[in-house]
Amino acid sequence: MHTVKTTVVHGARPHFAHPARNVAALGIGPGMKIADFGSGSGAYVLAIAEALANSGHVYAVDVQGDLLRKVKREATKRSYGCVEVIWGDLEYAGATKISDEELDMVLISNLLFQINNKNAVLREARRVLKPAGRLVIIDWSDSFGGIGPQEVDVVTKESAESLARANGFELSREFPAGSHHYGLIFSKKI
């Protein structure tokens, strides 16, 4: 017989980052243009597309073509015509092929711990964001029992803030992104 231990946090079961819940905290409005850098299997892309209700545009940017095909299939199945997939290695300048100052928001979720050239990714985000654009970083706050990054690879909230500041962003606010994640929203310094 196995015993399952459940930790209770503030009267509720802990949860991992929940894309729809986190997207609801971002204040996405009609007609916005948004990119998900390192979109993976597209959980955030699909949640953003739902929030946009096909009134804007969301780019899924990833280096893994098989995942992008999966995102496109799922977006088509859900009739999300606002989703566009872009293959690109974010560690290289201009990899997104998105025009300068085109986007209202760039989301970087669960990506920073996976890449070597973090500055390049943030420079690309800055390049494609409008002057009033927002950068959203959601990442692991810890290494949780073999799920997520190894402890040595975790990019702390403080490190993410420092990295963003060094690349021309200032912290606007934080939001709860899950029991093992942090959420940061930055504005572009002009």
Lowest mean pLDDT among 8-17, 83-92, 110-119: 8-17
Confidence at residue 161, expressed as pLDDT on a 0 to 100 scale: 93
Q: Which domains does the chain have, with CATH numbers?
A: 19-188 (3.40.50.150)
The phi, psi pair for 183, rounded to 5°, reads -130, 125
- The confidence band for 113, taking pLDDT boundaries of 50, 70 and 90, is confident
- The confidence band for 11, taking pLDDT boundaries of 50, 70 and 90, is very low
What is the pTM assigned to this prediction? 0.87
